[in-house]
């Protein structure tokens, strides 16, 4: 008893010590920031709020400016973006060190899915539902980017997206606020590591605040019109999760939200983010978005745009030059109190201190470390494993997959088989001095995998786009000689990404016709679909023998695909977004309301909420994905069927691997609040577990239901758990519910 008491006392003392140490440390940073700020002129303060693009790479419309070096020397620039390599960052930092106060520059970059080592695009990685893997890929990206002089990534993008026409659906974690929040936190943790002061940590940036993913019609940069309830319940949670995970920065967004541009939106930035959520980092605008408020039509000119943005809480101006040109005048005109400027500058300088840049502005500019980290074989290994974990098995008729490694002849056909850079997806970074074509192509992956006894045949068949069928004959010829055909088709990598919205999301060109021609040979065909978004591919879905949705997998794509095709990795990924049957169904998502006239089948369209000419069901549901093995769920038990708000219910079940292969299953827990003061969705994901099971093995798993999982925003936007009945569903997908029970909140 006494020992127990001593242990508790010891732990409390340790915690108190840690707390006071952290406070003392923070105080030092605050004091140091103050001491710098006391020396700064207004122009120098505004300089810290000004960010420019380096001249070599552009990820937005460029403003030609030959005065950059001079302005940096004058202390008029606080940060640069698109400036990569130790050589380049050192060059600019040396110029900053010639400024009066020698305040170091911050180097920001879109390190979205890897730096030199490219990982799967974020939406693909989200299919893994594997938070450790996701954290690891961000950690490696941070290690490489920081070794190359970068302090700050403009990632993760945590926008919920329910419209696959929107090109940037590739950059997030899909449609669901719960999964999206878990992944947002995992990515922030990965980029920032344990401590921003570690030399291999970079600042993360939660973007785009807010609701950018709900652009009307899926058209990039378009307006967003949304109820407050939907905003709070679906679109804000991943941002809140990023704040809770300690994210250092936020980026606001191009869209207007209910008529107010996000960049000048005080409700979002000052009231919610910096007020209610007490976010202590800083907010950067999106590229030129302060100036673009003039186009939105909320302000007359740059002067008014600047006033709107700074008042709303935007601390740094990316590339619009509005702050540089107008802030001083606004202060002089007494429109902007100096406190607003001081608050913004304090937030920015705080991060520069936390990164250790005031102690050593060149600490990220170490060419030896750069050389070492950009050639780290461990990174390649992880990229391959994470890529394999991101591939979704959508169909596997007659258990065609995995293929045997002694298959005699394989015809590998399609416009993406030998592609290199395509595999990298939209946000790859061209790192100077490194061959950006250094990628394991899908062809190479197969060559690496099969032995000498397997004959590999290749034909391109057709292009990604266009009507040219002249390659079909050769493709059919080799298909006839093969035991099995693998066909690699899909989008080009630049068909999804920023400004890449599409109204037609079919597989482009004649690629599905090529599949038809190949199937006519009678050979089994495995289709690899490469894309940055859910595509519509009903012919393929209904006729191919097997389908792997490979998205864009990054530098190790070929090896990872081969690992899955031949069963060295048993696919475990599940969709984080609904795949529509037709663009006509968009937006389609699993957590919809029931409506007053719910349609439950396509056979009854009698005055209910259905289409007259189209099914109401998606092609592939949220949470769907197959494995080479099979899983059974049994033995569902709830510790009780009634709980008070202070109590918890333990949910337990058994999952068994009933097939021939070892595998992993993502077990999903959904709830439905049956009667609420406002309508509640038919199903909401509230928890999941990814577990590994050997063939024949069974494992118990448990979930805990607490008040938090039962809460929602009521009409007054209060976060409440209302008493009443709840349905509990345990599923292998949002559609494939295996076990059910119900309970009551008292």
Rounded Cα–Cα distance for residues 633 and 330 (Å): 64
Q: Which residue from 726, 279, 144, 219 is spatially nearest to 500, judged by alpha carbons?
A: 219
**What tokens appear for 59 in the block?**
């990820």
Closest distance between ligand NOJ and the C-beta of residue 317, in Å? 13
**Residue 283, strand partner residues:** 250
The H or E element containing residue 251 is strand 249-252
Closest distance between ligand NOJ and the C-beta of residue 427, in Å? 9
- Coil, helix or strand at residue 280: coil
Closest distance between ligand NOJ and the C-beta of residue 193, in Å? 21
Q: Which residue from 657, 655, 644, 645 is spatially nearest to 703, judged by alpha carbons?
A: 655
Is residue 498 a contact residue for ligand NOJ (CB under 6 A)? yes
**61/377 with CB nearer ligand NOJ:** 61
* Dihedral (CA of 719, 725, 728, 734) sign: negative
**235/549 with CB nearer ligand NOJ:** 235
Residue of minimal Cβ distance to ligand NOJ: 59
Residues 138-177 that bind ligand NOJ (CB under 6 A): 154
Residue 737's alpha-carbon distances to 77, 92, 165, 588, 670, in angstroms, are: 55, 57, 28, 19, 9
Rounded Cα–Cα distance for residues 667 and 627 (Å): 13
Residues 659-718 that bind ligand NOJ (CB under 6 A): none
Is residue 287 a contact residue for ligand NOJ (CB under 6 A)? yes
Q: What are phi and psi of 94, to 5 degrees?
A: -65, -35
**207/709 with CB nearer ligand NOJ:** 207
**How big is the site for ligand NOJ, counted in residues (CB under 6 A)?**
9
Rounded Cα–Cα distance for residues 494 and 503 (Å): 15
Q: Where are the alpha helices (DSSP H) in 270-425?
A: 293-296, 302-312, 322-332, 338-354, 367-373, 377-390
- Residue 271 is given by DSSP the state I
- Coil, helix or strand at residue 546: strand
Ramachandran quadrant class, 742 (left: phi over 0; alpha: psi -120 to 50; beta: rest): beta
**498/512 with CB nearer ligand NOJ:** 498
Taking CB under 6 A as the rule, which mask of x and - marks residues 571-610 in contact with ligand NOJ? ----------------------------------------
**61/451 with CB nearer ligand NOJ:** 61
Closest distance between ligand NOJ and the C-beta of residue 599, in Å? 37
**154/566 with CB nearer ligand NOJ:** 154
Closest distance between ligand NOJ and the C-beta of residue 286, in Å? 5
Is residue 569 a contact residue for ligand NOJ (CB under 6 A)? no
Q: For 432-493, give the DSSP string.
A: TTS-TT----HHHHHHHHS-TTSEEEEE--S-SSS---TTHHHHHHHHHH-SEEEEEEE--G
Is residue 44 a contact residue for ligand NOJ (CB under 6 A)? no
Q: Which residue from 318, 431, 324 is spatially nearest to 59, judged by alpha carbons?
A: 318
Among residues 54, 110, 256, 286, the one annotated as catalytic is 286
Other beta carbons less than 10 A from residue 720's beta carbon? 15
Taking CB under 6 A as the rule, which mask of x and - marks residues 415-444 in contact with ligand NOJ? ------------------------------
Closest distance between ligand NOJ and the C-beta of residue 727, in Å? 39
**158/621 with CB nearer ligand NOJ:** 158
Closest distance between ligand NOJ and the C-beta of residue 81, in Å? 6
**108/414 with CB nearer ligand NOJ:** 108
Closest distance between ligand NOJ and the C-beta of residue 110, in Å? 5
The H or E element containing residue 557 is helix 557-565
Closest distance between ligand NOJ and the C-beta of residue 693, in Å? 39
Rg of the chain, C-alpha, whole Å: 27
**What tokens appear for 195 in the block?**
């401590």
Is residue 286 a contact residue for ligand NOJ (CB under 6 A)? yes
Rounded Cα–Cα distance for residues 335 and 661 (Å): 68
Closest distance between ligand NOJ and the C-beta of residue 529, in Å? 26
Residues 189-228 that bind ligand NOJ (CB under 6 A): 207
* Burial (0-12, 13-18, 19+ Cβ within 10 Å), 19: exposed
Closest distance between ligand NOJ and the C-beta of residue 154, in Å? 3
Q: Which residue from 108, 193, 192 is spatially nearest to 153, judged by alpha carbons?
A: 108
Rounded Cα–Cα distance for residues 119 and 444 (Å): 18
**60/367 with CB nearer ligand NOJ:** 60
Q: Which residue from 606, 585, 587 is spatially nearest to 597, judged by alpha carbons?
A: 606
Verify whether residue 286 is a known catalytic residue: yes
Q: Which residue from 695, 698, 699, 725 is spatially nearest to 710, judged by alpha carbons?
A: 725
Rounded Cα–Cα distance for residues 133 and 608 (Å): 43
**263/366 with CB nearer ligand NOJ:** 263
**81/531 with CB nearer ligand NOJ:** 81
* Burial (0-12, 13-18, 19+ Cβ within 10 Å), 453: exposed
Interacting residue with ligand NOJ among 29, 30, 55, 60 (CB under 6 A): 60
Closest distance between ligand NOJ and the C-beta of residue 287, in Å? 4
Give CA angle at 214 (213, 215), nearest 5°.
95
Taking CB under 6 A as the rule, which mask of x and - marks residues 72-111 in contact with ligand NOJ? ---------x----------------------------x-
Rounded Cα–Cα distance for residues 65 and 80 (Å): 13
**154/633 with CB nearer ligand NOJ:** 154
Residues 106-135 that bind ligand NOJ (CB under 6 A): 110
Closest distance between ligand NOJ and the C-beta of residue 39, in Å? 31
- Coil, helix or strand at residue 261: strand
**190/623 with CB nearer ligand NOJ:** 190
Rounded Cα–Cα distance for residues 55 and 35 (Å): 33
Residue 150's alpha-carbon distances to 111, 138, 141, 144, 199, in angstroms, are: 9, 14, 11, 9, 10
Give the residue numbers annotated as catalytic, written as ranges.
286
Please report, as ranges, the residues that interact with ligand NOJ according to CB under 6 A: 59-60, 81, 110, 154, 207, 286-287, 498
């Amino acid at each position: 008893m006494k020992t127990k008491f001593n242990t508790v006392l010891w732990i409390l003392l340790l915690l108190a010590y840690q707390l006071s140490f952290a406070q003392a440390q923070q105080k030092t940073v605050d004091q140091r920031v103050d001491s710098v700020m006391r020396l700064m002129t207004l122009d120098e303060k505004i300089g810290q709020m000004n960010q420019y693009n380096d001249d070599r790479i552009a990820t937005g419309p460029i403003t030609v400016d030959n005065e950059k070096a001079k302005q940096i020397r004058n202390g008029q620039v606080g940060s640069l973006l698109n400036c990569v390599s130790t050589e380049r960052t050192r060059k600019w930092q040396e110029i900053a060190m010639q400024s009066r106060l020698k305040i170091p520059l911050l180097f920001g970059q879109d390190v979205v899915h890897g730096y030199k080592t490219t990982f799967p695009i974020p939406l693909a990685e989200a299919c893994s539902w594997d938070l450790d893997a996701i954290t690891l890929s961000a950690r490696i990206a941070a290690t490489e980017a920081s070794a190359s002089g970068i302090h700050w990534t403009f990632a993760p993008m945590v926008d919920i997206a329910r419209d696959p026409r929107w090109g940037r659906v590739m950059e997030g974690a899909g449609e669901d606020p719960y999964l999206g929040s878990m992944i947002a936190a995992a990515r922030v943790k990965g980029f920032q590591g344990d401590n921003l002061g570690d030399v291999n940590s970079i600042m993360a940036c939660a973007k785009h605040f807010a609701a950018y993913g709900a652009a009307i019609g899926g058209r990039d940069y378009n307006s967003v019109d949304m109820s407050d309830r939907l905003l709070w319940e679906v679109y804000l949670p991943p941002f809140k999760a990023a704040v809770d995970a300690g994210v250092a920065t936020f980026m606001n967004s191009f869209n207007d939200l209910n008529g107010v541009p996000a960049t000048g939106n005080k409700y979002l930035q000052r009231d919610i983010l910096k007020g209610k959520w007490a976010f202590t980092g800083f907010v950067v605008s999106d590229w030129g978005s302060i100036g673009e408020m003039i186009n939105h039509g909320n302000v007359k000119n740059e002067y008014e745009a600047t006033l709107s943005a700074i008042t709303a809480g935007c601390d740094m101006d990316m590339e619009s030059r509005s702050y540089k040109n107008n802030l001083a005048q606004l202060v002089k005109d007494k429109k902007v109190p100096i406190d607003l400027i001081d608050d913004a500058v304090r937030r920015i300088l705080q991060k520069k201190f936390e990164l250790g840049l005031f102690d050593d502005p060149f600490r990220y500019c170490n060419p030896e470390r750069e050389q070492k980290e950009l050639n780290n074989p461990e990174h390649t290994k992880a990229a391959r494993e994470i890529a394999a974990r991101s591939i979704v098995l959508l169909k596997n008729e007659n258990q065609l997959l995995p293929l045997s490694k002694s298959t005699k002849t394989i015809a590998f056909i399609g416009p993406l088989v030998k592609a290199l850079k395509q595999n990298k997806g939209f946000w790859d970074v061209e790192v100077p001095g490194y061959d950006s074509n250094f990628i394991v192509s899908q062809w190479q992956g197969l060559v690496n995998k099969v032995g000498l006894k397997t004959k590999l045949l290749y034909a391109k068949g057709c292009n990604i786009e266009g009507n040219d069928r002249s390659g079909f004959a050769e493709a059919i010829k080799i298909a006839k000689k093969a035991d099995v055909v693998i066909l690699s088709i899909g989008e080009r990598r630049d068909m999804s990404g920023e400004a890449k919205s599409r109204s037609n999301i079919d597989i482009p060109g004649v690629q599905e016709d090529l599949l038809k021609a190949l199937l006519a040979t009678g050979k089994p065909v495995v289709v690899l679909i490469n894309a940055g978004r859910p595509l519509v591919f009903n012919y393929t879905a209904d006729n191919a023998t097997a389908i792997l949705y490979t998205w864009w997998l990054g530098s190790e794509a070929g090896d990872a695909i081969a690992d899955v095709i031949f069963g060295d990795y048993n696919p475990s990924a599940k969709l984080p977004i609904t795949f529509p049957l037709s663009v006509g169904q968009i937006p389609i998502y699993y957590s919809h309301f029931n409506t007053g006239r719910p349609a439950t089948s396509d056979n009854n369209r009698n005055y209910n909420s259905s289409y007259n000419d189209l099914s109401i069901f998606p092609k592939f549901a949220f949470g769907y994905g197959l494995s080479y093995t099979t899983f059974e769920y049994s033995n569902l038990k709830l510790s009780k069927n009634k709980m008070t708000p202070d109590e918890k219910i333990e949910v337990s079940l058994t999952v068994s691997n009933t097939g021939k292969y070892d595998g992993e299953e993502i077990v999903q827990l959904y709830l439905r609040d049956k009667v609420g003061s406002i309508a509640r969705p038919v199903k909401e994901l509230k928890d999941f577990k990814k577990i590994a099971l050997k063939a024949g093995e069974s494992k118990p798993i448990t979930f805990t239901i607490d008040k938090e999982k039962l809460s929602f925003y009521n009409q007054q936007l209060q976060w409440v758990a209302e008493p009443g009945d709840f349905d509990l569903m345990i599923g292998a997908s949002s559609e494939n519910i295996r076990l059910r029970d119900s309970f009551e909140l008292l």
